[in-house]
Amino acid sequence: MSLVAVRGVTKTFASTSEAVTPIADLDFTVEQGEFVCLMGPSGSGKTTLLHLLAGIDRPTRGSVHVAGEDVAALSPSALARWRTRAIGYVFQTYNLIPVLTAYENVEVPLLLLRLSRAQRAQKVATALAAVALTDRAHHLPRQLSGGQQQRVAIARAIVADRPFVLADEPTGNLDRQAATATMELLRRLVAEFGKTLIMVTHDPLAAQAADRVVHLDKGRIVDGASHA
């Protein structure tokens, strides 16, 4: 069975004066251990699709199964537990907690697990080192550059070693060197650590690292909906 199975999914936002349907009757599968890159113009529904996969939003129609769970059917508390166990998420807008240092932001997902303070410290140190931010551990987000904040968000997504990583333009704010290092890190998550990765990117170079590129346009997949 596929790790991700999206069947006939439509997402409509009706809250605004005019209803918006960023995802329209979408079918999409991802296999365990795949590195899938999601591309498409701004507004084509990429972030909306990641939100549906992580259970941040619910589909208006259709079903979203991830690792055997019917994501849309989980209660809010079950969803929170499942996400803690299963998903590392790099948000497009980082979503760092402004009053916590880089170290403390990265530590947050570990607070939900049964770990000693020393075990947490070791994992946070490893994750910060992986994004080359050891020397910024005790800075607040507002004391970091945009690219550094993005790397903190990546460290937070990988620190708890969860099997499924969703990354929304994780290199969008990085210079070429940092972007290359980040892509190498993400590629190793899949190749060496067996993670499954879905990454949104506008960067054709970043997309070259993926096993498969899925092209979205106006909420529909125009290419690459499933593994060949």
Which residues contribute to the site for ligand ATP (CB under 6 A)? 13, 15-16, 20, 22, 40, 42-48, 92
22 binds, among ligand ATP, Mg ion, none (CB under 5 to 8 A by kind): ligand ATP
17 binds, among Mg ion, ligand ATP, none (CB under 5 to 8 A by kind): none
Q: How many residues does the chain have?
A: 228
Distance (Å, rounded) from C-alpha 210 to C-alpha 37?
6
- Cβ 48 to ligand ATP, closest distance in Å? 3
Closest CB to ligand ATP among residues 12, 226 = 12
Instruction: Report helix angle 146-158 to 117-130, nearest 10.
Output: 130
Closest CB to Mg ion among residues 53, 127 = 53
Window contacting Mg ion (CB under 5 A); options: 16-24, 27-35, 42-50, 135-143: 42-50
Closest to 23 in 3D by CA, of 36, 9, 4: 9
Closest CB to ligand ATP among residues 58, 139 = 58
Closest CB to Mg ion among residues 47, 201 = 47
- Cβ 11 to ligand ATP, closest distance in Å? 8
The token pair that represents 35 in the structure block: 């590195």
Which position's Cβ is nearest Mg ion?
47
Contact 120, 110 (CB under 8 A): yes
The residue type found at 195 is K
List the beta bridge partners of residue 20: 13
The residue type found at 122 is Q
Closest CB to Mg ion among residues 46, 123 = 46
196 binds, among Mg ion, ligand ATP, none (CB under 5 to 8 A by kind): none
Contact 42, 217 (CB under 8 A): no
Contact 71, 65 (CB under 8 A): yes
Contact 157, 94 (CB under 8 A): no
- Cβ 125 to Mg ion, closest distance in Å? 31
Residue 47 binds to Mg ion (criterion: CB under 5 A): yes
Binding mask 72-111 toward Mg ion (x if CB under 5 A, else -) reads --------------------x-------------------
The residue type found at 158 is I
The token pair that represents 5 in the structure block: 């199975």
Give me the residues that bind Mg ion (CB under 5 A), please. 46-47, 92
